[in-house]
A = this chain, B = another copy of it.
Amino acid sequence: MLRCTVAFVLVSGAICLAQDAPPPPPGQPAPSNAPNSQYPRINPDSSVTFRIRADDAKSVRITTLGPYDLVKGTDGFWSVTTKPLAPGFYYYAVNVDGFATTDPGSQAFFGYNRYGSAVEVPGSDSDFFAPKDVPHGTVRQAWYFSKSTGADGAWRRVFVYTPPGYDENRNTRYPVLYLQHGAGENETSWTNQGHANFIMDNAIAAGKVKPMIIVNENGLPPPAPPGGRGAPAPGARGRGAMIGNRFAEFDAVVSKDLIPFIDKTFRTIPRREQRALAGLSMGGAQTMRIGVNHPELFASLGLFSPAVGNLDPATDYDGKLADAAAINKGLKLLWIGIGREDSLFPGVKTSHENLEKAGIKHVWAETDGAHVWTVWRKYLVEFGAQLFR
């Protein structure tokens, strides 16, 4: 038992703020850990050690990552060390005797449609998304009323990155990138999982990207209970609602409610040439659809590992891509990136080839990597560097 050396006494007991530390194990706590948590721990060979207390458990298992079965040690803790992992961000769950839950050692990340655990394995190129000694922007939670949500409208939360200096330089106006997450994630994910704010701070400081505002919305909010302003109507989002309908709802939210709110509230440059839309996976599919539907709003589109397979420009999107000359005239930038280890790769590559055959200009970025945040963080810089030029 470790001795508590710094405590703060509360009504319901004492909060231990520091303990006698056990002998330091090798490696370091993962940067994705909750404050104070020594595990999960990144070993010098980039393997990860998980360690959990579950005195009466029959089995403890790491899932999503792995699976890895933990073994109970003489100190009463269950632990396991993974094989060496490539640098990256790995979602995982802990399963104790059939209870699938989170690791109290991890921060809570919204993914797979729940708050879950993840471990960041740092690598030699993790520096670009780390909080560094450069000017920092801010990330706002803002609320706006969306008439297009459900039957009666609803207040929605949006995350807004403003670049370094935004609050001090009170007359400067900025371009805006609307940047969407993947299925099962939400408006918090580009900040919490992606570190988009630190990526931008670093890239702006290095002169790689222009200062811009970035907006993250919830592209596919989960069904809300019926009734009351603020809750969507049952028919609009209830069980059985189809993805397609919900994509159409999100199109309306973005085009009718979100953009007017952002342009009214922030010092934007409210022109299509200074407004971009991008997203990863499901967000890439939404980007293509909303972008094609609204050439009057967006001149630049970014598709990060998009769920856009085997695209047929002649017939998809109600034929709105059929006139290549018109599309090329309207779009300043259509950027498509995907990793070769991504299971969506073959379908997306076919989409790229079909766009090429149809004469629709685009940037094709065929990269290393799978369907993971490690890839999308890099795409933000690569795509961002070509924006608003």
**A contact set with B: CB distance below 8 Å:** 5-6, 8-12, 15-21, 28-29, 34-37, 52-60, 64, 94, 96-104, 106-108, 110, 112-116, 131, 133, 136, 138-145, 155, 160, 167-168, 170, 182-184, 186, 191, 197, 220-223, 225, 229-230, 238-243, 246, 264-266, 281-282, 307, 342-344, 370-371
Q: Indicate which residue in B21, B184, B225 contacts A28 across the interface (CB closer than 8 Å).
A: B225
Asked, given contacts A18-B239, A131-B155, A243-B6, whether A56 binds B225 with beta carbons under 8 Å apart, the answer is no
Q: Residues of B contacting A64 with CB < 8 Å?
A: 12
Asked, given contacts A8-B184, A12-B64, A15-B183, whether A225 binds B101 with beta carbons under 8 Å apart, the answer is no
State the main secondary structure of chain A at its contact with B. Answer: loop
**How many copies make up the complex?**
2
Q: Is the CB of B55 within 8 A of A97?
A: yes
Q: Is the CB of B101 within 8 A of A229?
A: no
Q: Is the CB of A186 within 8 A of B35?
A: yes
A101 to B64 CA separation, bound complex (whole angstroms) = 18
Q: Residues of B contacting A18 with CB < 8 Å?
A: 222-223, 238-241
Asked, given contacts A140-B140, A240-B5, whether A58 binds B59 with beta carbons under 8 Å apart, the answer is no
Q: Residues of B contacting A144 with CB < 8 Å?
A: 136
Q: Residues of B contacting A29 with CB < 8 Å?
A: 225
Q: Is the CB of B138 within 8 A of A371?
A: no
A182 to B17 CA separation, bound complex (whole angstroms) = 12
Q: Is the CB of A104 within 8 A of B104?
A: no
Q: Is the CB of A59 within 8 A of B56?
A: yes
Q: Residues of B contacting A167 with CB < 8 Å?
A: 265-266
Q: Is the CB of A53 within 8 A of B98?
A: yes
A343 to B14 CA separation, bound complex (whole angstroms) = 13
Q: Residues of B contacting A145 with CB < 8 Å?
A: 133
